Amino acid sequence: MNIDQFNTEASRYAVRVDETFWILTTLSAVIVILLVTLIVVFMVRYRRGSPAPRGELPNILKHEIEIGWTVATFFLFMFFFWWAGVEILNADSPPAHALEIHVVAKQWMFRFQQPSGAREIDELHVPVNTPIRLSLTSEDVIHDLFIPALRIKKDILPDRYTYLWFTADKTGVFHMSCNQFCGTNHSLMGGQMDIVSKQDYGRWTSAQPEGDDLAHQGEKLFHTVGCSGCHDSPSSTIHAPDLHNIFGRLVQLTDGRVVKADEAYLRDKILLPNKDIPAGYAPDMPSFRGVLNEGQIVSLIAYLKSLTTSPNVEGARP
Protein backbone atom coordinates (compact mmCIF):
# COMPACT_ATOMS: atom_id res chain seq x y z
CA MET A 1 0.00 0.00 0.00
CA ASN A 2 1.16 3.39 -0.94
CA ILE A 3 0.51 6.86 0.46
CA ASP A 4 -0.58 7.96 -3.03
CA GLN A 5 -3.76 6.00 -2.49
CA PHE A 6 -4.60 8.51 0.21
CA ASN A 7 -3.21 11.91 -0.57
CA THR A 8 -3.40 12.12 -4.36
CA GLU A 9 -5.70 14.93 -5.40
CA ALA A 10 -7.94 12.86 -7.62
CA SER A 11 -10.48 15.56 -8.47
CA ARG A 12 -10.72 19.31 -9.00
CA TYR A 13 -12.65 19.50 -5.76
CA ALA A 14 -9.78 17.80 -3.93
CA VAL A 15 -7.38 20.38 -5.32
CA ARG A 16 -9.58 23.20 -4.09
CA VAL A 17 -9.91 21.65 -0.62
CA ASP A 18 -6.15 21.39 -0.42
CA GLU A 19 -5.78 25.00 -1.50
CA THR A 20 -8.10 26.04 1.31
CA PHE A 21 -6.14 23.88 3.68
CA TRP A 22 -2.81 25.38 2.73
CA ILE A 23 -4.08 28.94 2.84
CA LEU A 24 -5.36 28.34 6.33
CA THR A 25 -2.11 26.64 7.28
CA THR A 26 -0.06 29.56 6.02
CA LEU A 27 -2.25 31.94 7.94
CA SER A 28 -1.95 29.86 11.09
CA ALA A 29 1.80 29.63 10.70
CA VAL A 30 2.03 33.40 10.44
CA ILE A 31 -0.05 33.82 13.58
CA VAL A 32 1.97 31.20 15.49
CA ILE A 33 5.29 32.70 14.43
CA LEU A 34 4.12 36.16 15.39
CA LEU A 35 2.93 35.03 18.80
CA VAL A 36 5.96 32.88 19.53
CA THR A 37 8.29 35.72 18.54
CA LEU A 38 6.44 38.13 20.80
CA ILE A 39 6.39 35.69 23.70
CA VAL A 40 10.08 34.85 23.38
CA VAL A 41 11.07 38.50 23.02
CA PHE A 42 9.02 39.44 26.09
CA MET A 43 10.38 36.49 28.04
CA VAL A 44 13.95 37.51 27.37
CA ARG A 45 13.60 41.27 27.49
CA TYR A 46 11.36 41.39 30.54
CA ARG A 47 12.87 38.52 32.53
CA ARG A 48 13.01 39.41 36.19
CA GLY A 49 15.77 41.90 36.92
CA SER A 50 16.59 42.70 33.30
CA PRO A 51 17.59 46.30 32.60
CA ALA A 52 14.72 46.96 30.15
CA PRO A 53 12.56 49.94 31.11
CA ARG A 54 9.13 49.07 32.53
CA GLY A 55 6.37 51.30 33.72
CA GLU A 56 2.93 52.23 32.61
CA LEU A 57 1.65 51.23 29.18
CA PRO A 58 1.22 53.96 26.60
CA ASN A 59 -2.43 54.87 26.21
CA ILE A 60 -2.69 53.49 22.70
CA LEU A 61 -1.84 50.05 24.05
CA LYS A 62 -4.44 50.20 26.73
CA HIS A 63 -7.71 50.27 24.90
CA GLU A 64 -7.48 50.89 21.18
CA ILE A 65 -5.26 47.92 20.54
CA GLU A 66 -7.73 45.61 22.23
CA ILE A 67 -10.58 46.81 20.04
CA GLY A 68 -8.25 46.71 17.06
CA TRP A 69 -7.28 43.07 17.37
CA THR A 70 -10.81 42.02 18.28
CA VAL A 71 -12.13 43.57 15.10
CA ALA A 72 -9.22 42.31 13.02
CA THR A 73 -9.66 38.75 14.27
CA PHE A 74 -13.37 38.96 13.66
CA PHE A 75 -12.98 40.04 10.05
CA LEU A 76 -10.24 37.54 9.39
CA PHE A 77 -12.42 34.70 10.67
CA MET A 78 -15.45 35.97 8.77
CA PHE A 79 -13.39 36.11 5.63
CA PHE A 80 -12.42 32.55 6.15
CA PHE A 81 -15.96 31.46 6.85
CA TRP A 82 -16.99 33.09 3.59
CA TRP A 83 -14.15 31.43 1.69
CA ALA A 84 -14.86 27.95 3.02
CA GLY A 85 -18.60 28.44 2.73
CA VAL A 86 -18.40 29.41 -0.93
CA GLU A 87 -16.19 26.41 -1.54
CA ILE A 88 -18.74 24.02 -0.12
CA LEU A 89 -21.71 25.69 -1.82
CA ASN A 90 -19.97 25.42 -5.19
CA ALA A 91 -19.39 21.76 -4.59
CA ASP A 92 -22.94 21.13 -3.60
CA SER A 93 -24.90 19.97 -6.59
CA PRO A 94 -23.93 17.25 -9.02
CA PRO A 95 -24.95 17.67 -12.65
CA ALA A 96 -28.36 16.24 -13.45
CA HIS A 97 -27.29 13.11 -15.25
CA ALA A 98 -24.59 11.84 -12.98
CA LEU A 99 -23.93 8.12 -12.99
CA GLU A 100 -25.79 6.79 -9.98
CA ILE A 101 -24.24 4.09 -7.83
CA HIS A 102 -26.03 2.62 -4.85
CA VAL A 103 -24.01 1.87 -1.77
CA VAL A 104 -25.34 -0.35 0.97
CA ALA A 105 -23.18 -0.59 4.07
CA LYS A 106 -23.45 -3.25 6.71
CA GLN A 107 -21.16 -4.53 9.45
CA TRP A 108 -18.41 -4.66 8.06
CA MET A 109 -18.62 -4.31 4.31
CA PHE A 110 -19.72 -2.03 1.50
CA ARG A 111 -21.88 -3.32 -1.34
CA PHE A 112 -21.96 -1.31 -4.54
CA GLN A 113 -24.57 -1.58 -7.25
CA GLN A 114 -23.84 -0.02 -10.62
CA PRO A 115 -26.69 1.22 -12.84
CA SER A 116 -25.82 -1.60 -15.18
CA GLY A 117 -26.72 -4.03 -12.44
CA ALA A 118 -23.12 -5.03 -11.74
CA ARG A 119 -22.43 -5.58 -8.04
CA GLU A 120 -19.19 -5.34 -6.15
CA ILE A 121 -18.17 -5.78 -2.55
CA ASP A 122 -15.53 -3.53 -1.00
CA GLU A 123 -14.37 -2.49 -4.42
CA LEU A 124 -15.79 0.12 -6.72
CA HIS A 125 -15.07 0.71 -10.40
CA VAL A 126 -15.87 4.16 -11.71
CA PRO A 127 -15.03 5.93 -14.96
CA VAL A 128 -12.77 8.97 -14.88
CA ASN A 129 -14.08 12.44 -15.83
CA THR A 130 -17.65 11.36 -15.26
CA PRO A 131 -19.87 12.83 -12.55
CA ILE A 132 -20.71 10.03 -10.15
CA ARG A 133 -23.36 10.18 -7.49
CA LEU A 134 -23.27 7.69 -4.65
CA SER A 135 -26.49 7.16 -2.80
CA LEU A 136 -25.74 5.62 0.54
CA THR A 137 -27.76 3.65 3.01
CA SER A 138 -27.02 1.23 5.81
CA GLU A 139 -28.59 -2.02 6.90
CA ASP A 140 -27.59 -1.82 10.53
CA VAL A 141 -25.63 0.90 12.35
CA ILE A 142 -24.26 4.23 11.20
CA HIS A 143 -21.29 3.77 8.90
CA ASP A 144 -19.36 6.27 6.85
CA LEU A 145 -17.75 6.26 3.46
CA PHE A 146 -14.46 8.14 3.28
CA ILE A 147 -12.44 8.48 0.10
CA PRO A 148 -9.38 10.52 1.11
CA ALA A 149 -8.08 11.02 -2.43
CA LEU A 150 -11.33 12.77 -3.34
CA ARG A 151 -11.52 14.60 0.02
CA ILE A 152 -15.09 13.44 0.51
CA LYS A 153 -16.83 11.66 3.32
CA LYS A 154 -20.40 11.05 4.42
CA ASP A 155 -22.08 9.12 7.18
CA ILE A 156 -24.29 6.25 6.08
CA LEU A 157 -27.48 6.02 8.08
CA PRO A 158 -29.91 3.16 8.47
CA ASP A 159 -33.32 3.74 6.88
CA ARG A 160 -32.23 6.96 5.26
CA TYR A 161 -30.34 8.04 2.19
CA THR A 162 -27.33 10.29 2.17
CA TYR A 163 -25.40 11.27 -0.93
CA LEU A 164 -21.90 11.91 -2.13
CA TRP A 165 -20.83 13.03 -5.54
CA PHE A 166 -17.57 13.60 -7.36
CA THR A 167 -15.93 13.81 -10.74
CA ALA A 168 -12.56 12.12 -10.56
CA ASP A 169 -9.93 13.39 -12.97
CA LYS A 170 -7.14 10.92 -12.27
CA THR A 171 -7.14 7.20 -12.87
CA GLY A 172 -5.69 4.86 -10.33
CA VAL A 173 -6.43 2.76 -7.30
CA PHE A 174 -7.49 4.68 -4.22
CA HIS A 175 -8.36 3.86 -0.68
CA MET A 176 -11.83 3.85 0.86
CA SER A 177 -12.71 3.35 4.49
CA CYS A 178 -15.49 3.41 7.01
CA ASN A 179 -14.94 6.37 9.30
CA GLN A 180 -17.77 6.09 11.77
CA PHE A 181 -17.14 3.64 14.56
CA CYS A 182 -19.34 0.65 13.80
CA GLY A 183 -18.20 -2.22 15.99
CA THR A 184 -15.63 -4.96 16.31
CA ASN A 185 -14.17 -4.95 12.82
CA HIS A 186 -14.64 -1.27 12.13
CA SER A 187 -10.98 -0.92 11.18
CA LEU A 188 -11.28 -3.65 8.58
CA MET A 189 -14.28 -2.08 6.85
CA GLY A 190 -13.08 -0.45 3.70
CA GLY A 191 -11.82 -1.24 0.28
CA GLN A 192 -10.49 0.21 -2.88
CA MET A 193 -11.81 2.44 -5.56
CA ASP A 194 -10.61 1.86 -9.09
CA ILE A 195 -10.88 4.97 -11.17
CA VAL A 196 -10.48 3.78 -14.75
CA SER A 197 -10.67 5.32 -18.19
CA LYS A 198 -14.07 5.40 -19.84
CA GLN A 199 -13.07 2.68 -22.28
CA ASP A 200 -11.83 0.44 -19.51
CA TYR A 201 -15.01 1.09 -17.59
CA GLY A 202 -17.09 0.09 -20.61
CA ARG A 203 -15.01 -3.04 -21.00
CA TRP A 204 -15.27 -3.81 -17.30
CA THR A 205 -19.04 -3.36 -17.35
CA SER A 206 -19.55 -5.65 -20.31
CA ALA A 207 -17.27 -8.24 -18.76
CA GLN A 208 -19.53 -8.47 -15.71
CA PRO A 209 -21.79 -11.49 -15.51
CA GLU A 210 -24.92 -10.94 -17.52
CA GLY A 211 -27.47 -9.22 -15.32
CA ASP A 212 -30.31 -6.94 -15.97
CA ASP A 213 -29.91 -3.39 -14.98
CA LEU A 214 -31.39 -2.21 -11.71
CA ALA A 215 -34.62 -0.95 -13.18
CA HIS A 216 -35.33 -4.27 -14.82
CA GLN A 217 -34.55 -6.15 -11.65
CA GLY A 218 -36.95 -3.79 -9.93
CA GLU A 219 -39.62 -4.40 -12.49
CA LYS A 220 -39.39 -8.14 -11.90
CA LEU A 221 -39.67 -7.59 -8.15
CA PHE A 222 -42.63 -5.29 -8.72
CA HIS A 223 -44.49 -8.24 -10.10
CA THR A 224 -43.07 -11.06 -7.99
CA VAL A 225 -43.56 -9.53 -4.55
CA GLY A 226 -47.03 -8.37 -5.46
CA CYS A 227 -46.83 -4.60 -5.87
CA SER A 228 -48.47 -4.82 -9.26
CA GLY A 229 -51.54 -6.54 -7.80
CA CYS A 230 -52.76 -3.23 -6.43
CA HIS A 231 -50.73 -0.53 -8.08
CA ASP A 232 -50.83 -1.71 -11.65
CA SER A 233 -54.13 -3.42 -12.03
CA PRO A 234 -57.16 -1.48 -13.18
CA SER A 235 -59.44 -4.33 -12.13
CA SER A 236 -58.16 -4.47 -8.54
CA THR A 237 -60.75 -3.75 -5.89
CA ILE A 238 -58.12 -2.04 -3.80
CA HIS A 239 -57.81 1.67 -4.35
CA ALA A 240 -54.05 2.16 -4.81
CA PRO A 241 -52.26 4.95 -6.65
CA ASP A 242 -50.87 4.49 -10.13
CA LEU A 243 -47.12 4.82 -9.89
CA HIS A 244 -46.30 6.19 -13.32
CA ASN A 245 -44.51 9.50 -13.04
CA ILE A 246 -44.50 9.25 -9.25
CA PHE A 247 -40.82 10.02 -8.78
CA GLY A 248 -40.06 13.65 -8.10
CA ARG A 249 -43.68 14.66 -7.84
CA LEU A 250 -45.21 16.60 -5.01
CA VAL A 251 -47.75 14.54 -3.11
CA GLN A 252 -50.61 15.98 -1.14
CA LEU A 253 -51.11 14.18 2.18
CA THR A 254 -54.33 13.64 4.10
CA ASP A 255 -53.30 16.14 6.72
CA GLY A 256 -52.73 18.86 4.17
CA ARG A 257 -48.94 18.74 3.96
CA VAL A 258 -47.23 18.39 0.61
CA VAL A 259 -44.10 16.27 0.32
CA LYS A 260 -41.88 15.42 -2.59
CA ALA A 261 -41.81 11.80 -3.71
CA ASP A 262 -38.05 11.33 -3.63
CA GLU A 263 -36.08 8.20 -2.82
CA ALA A 264 -36.54 8.59 0.90
CA TYR A 265 -40.29 9.02 0.51
CA LEU A 266 -40.66 5.99 -1.74
CA ARG A 267 -38.54 3.95 0.61
CA ASP A 268 -40.74 4.98 3.52
CA LYS A 269 -43.80 4.04 1.52
CA ILE A 270 -42.45 0.54 1.02
CA LEU A 271 -41.32 0.02 4.61
CA LEU A 272 -43.58 2.34 6.64
CA PRO A 273 -46.63 2.56 4.37
CA ASN A 274 -48.91 4.03 7.02
CA LYS A 275 -46.73 7.06 7.62
CA ASP A 276 -47.77 10.09 5.54
CA ILE A 277 -50.82 8.79 3.69
CA PRO A 278 -51.54 10.59 0.40
CA ALA A 279 -54.85 12.39 0.29
CA GLY A 280 -57.68 10.25 -0.93
CA TYR A 281 -56.22 6.88 0.04
CA ALA A 282 -56.84 4.52 2.90
CA PRO A 283 -53.88 3.35 4.99
CA ASP A 284 -54.22 -0.23 3.83
CA MET A 285 -50.89 -1.07 2.26
CA PRO A 286 -48.87 -3.77 4.03
CA SER A 287 -45.28 -3.10 5.07
CA PHE A 288 -42.51 -4.84 3.14
CA ARG A 289 -40.06 -4.63 6.00
CA GLY A 290 -38.40 -7.99 6.31
CA VAL A 291 -39.72 -9.02 2.89
CA LEU A 292 -37.31 -6.93 0.85
CA ASN A 293 -33.64 -6.35 1.55
CA GLU A 294 -31.86 -3.06 0.92
CA GLY A 295 -30.63 -4.13 -2.49
CA GLN A 296 -34.13 -5.06 -3.61
CA ILE A 297 -35.52 -1.77 -2.36
CA VAL A 298 -32.87 0.03 -4.35
CA SER A 299 -33.93 -1.92 -7.45
CA LEU A 300 -37.60 -1.19 -6.89
CA ILE A 301 -36.94 2.52 -6.52
CA ALA A 302 -34.80 2.45 -9.66
CA TYR A 303 -37.77 0.89 -11.45
CA LEU A 304 -40.14 3.55 -10.15
CA LYS A 305 -37.72 6.20 -11.32
CA SER A 306 -37.66 4.63 -14.76
CA LEU A 307 -41.42 5.05 -14.93
CA THR A 308 -40.99 8.79 -14.77
CA THR A 309 -40.86 10.47 -18.12
CA SER A 310 -41.58 14.01 -17.02
CA PRO A 311 -38.73 16.39 -17.86
CA ASN A 312 -39.30 18.17 -14.57
CA VAL A 313 -37.79 15.52 -12.44
CA GLU A 314 -35.31 17.16 -10.19
CA GLY A 315 -31.72 16.27 -10.82
CA ALA A 316 -30.08 14.07 -8.30
CA ARG A 317 -28.49 16.11 -5.56
CA PRO A 318 -26.67 15.30 -2.39
Partner 1 sequence: MSDVSRALQEPWPDLAVQREGVHFGIWVFLASEILFFSGLFLTYAVYRSFNPQAFAEAGRHAEIFYGTLNTGLLLTSSMTMAVALRASGARSRRITLTALALTVLLGLGFLFCKGLEYHDDLSKHLFPGPHFAIASPPAQLFWSLYWIMTGIHAIHMSGGIAAVVTVWVLFWRRTIPVQNSTMEGVAAYWHFVDSVWLVLYPLLYLVGRS
Partner 2 sequence: MNDTPRHSRSRREIWLDPLLVWLVLLAILAASVWSAFLPLGAFNPTVNLLLAALMLLVLATFLMDLRNAKSVLRLVAAGGLLWVVFLFALTFTDYLSRRPTIGPAPPVHSSILASGPHAV
Partner 3 sequence: MTDITLPFAPVQETGQASYLDEGHTLLSWLTTHDHKRIAILYAISITLAFFIASVAIALVRLELLEPNGLFLSSDAYNRLFTLHGIVMVWFFLVPSIPATMGNFLLPMMIGAHDVAFPRLNLLSWYLYVIGAIFTIYVIISGGVDTGWTFYPPFSTGFANGHVVTAAAGVFVVGFSSIATGVNFITTTHMLRAPGMTWFRLPLFVWSMYAVSLVMVLATPVLTMSLLLIIAERAFGLPIFDAAQGGDPLLFQHLFWFYSHPAVYIMILPAMGVVSEIFACFARRQVFGYAFMVYAMLSIAVIGFMVWGHHMFVAGQSELADLVFSFLTFIVAVPSAIKVFNWTATLYRGQISFEAPMLYALGFLGLFTIGGLTGLYLASIPIDIQAHDTYFVVAHFHFIMVGASVSAFMAGIHFWWPKVTGRLYHEFWAQFAAITMFLGFNMTFFPQFIMGWEGMPRRYHYYPAVFQIWHVLSTAGASVLAVAYIMPLIYLTWSLRSGERAGDNPWQATGLEWQTTSPPPKRNFERQPVVTEPPYMYHETGHPRSPDDSRPVKPQGNAS
- Contact status, residue 260 vs residue 251, Cβ threshold 8 Å: yes
Q: Which does 64 bind (CB under 5 to 8 A by kind): partner 3, partner 2, partner 1, none?
A: none
- Binding to partner 3 (CB under 8 A) within 66-85 occurs at 66, 69-70, 73-74, 77-78, 80-81, 83-85
- Binding to partner 2 (CB under 8 A) within 232-261 occurs at 239, 241-242, 246, 248-252, 256, 258-261
- Contact status, residue 151 vs residue 12, Cβ threshold 8 Å: no
- Contact status, residue 9 vs residue 15, Cβ threshold 8 Å: yes
Report CA Rg, the chain: 27
Please tell me the distance from the alpha carbon of residue 279 to that of residue 44, in angstroms, as a whole number: 78
Nearer to partner 3, 205 or 287 (CB): 287
Q: Is 182 in the site for partner 3 (CB under 8 A)?
A: yes
Q: Which does 264 bind (CB under 5 to 8 A by kind): partner 3, partner 2, partner 1, none?
A: partner 2
- Binding to partner 1 (CB under 8 A) within 265-304 occurs at 272, 274-277, 283
Please tell me the distance from the alpha carbon of residue 238 to that of residue 233, in angstroms, as a whole number: 9
* Cα 290 to Cα 141, 271, 293, 294, distances in angstroms: 17, 9, 7, 10
Binding mask 188-207 for partner 2 (x = CB under 8 A): --------------------
The nearest distance, CB 267 to partner 1, in angstroms, is 14
Nearer to partner 2, 243 or 302 (CB): 243
Tell which one of 96, 121, 188, 238 touches partner 3 (CB under 8 A): 188
Nearer to partner 3, 177 or 296 (CB): 177
- Binding to partner 1 (CB under 8 A) within 204-263 occurs at 253-255, 257
Please tell me the distance from the alpha carbon of residue 317 to that of residue 162, in angstroms, as a whole number: 10
Tell which one of 119, 130, 131, 141 touches partner 3 (CB under 8 A): 141
- Contact status, residue 131 vs residue 98, Cβ threshold 8 Å: yes
Q: What DSSP line would sit under 120-155, residue for residue?
A: EESEEEEETTSEEEEEEEESSS-EEEEEGGGTEEEE
What region, left, alpha or beta, does residue 253 occupy, with left being phi > 0 and alpha being psi -120 to 50 degrees? beta
Torsion angle of the four alpha carbons 262, 301, 101, 155, in this order, in degrees rounded to the nearest 10:
50
Nearer to partner 1, 225 or 272 (CB): 272
Q: Is 310 in the site for partner 1 (CB under 8 A)?
A: no
Binding site for partner 1 (CB under 8 A): 253-255, 257, 272, 274-277, 283
Binding site for partner 2 (CB under 8 A): 89, 92-93, 239, 241-242, 246, 248-252, 256, 258-262, 264, 278-281, 312, 314, 317-318
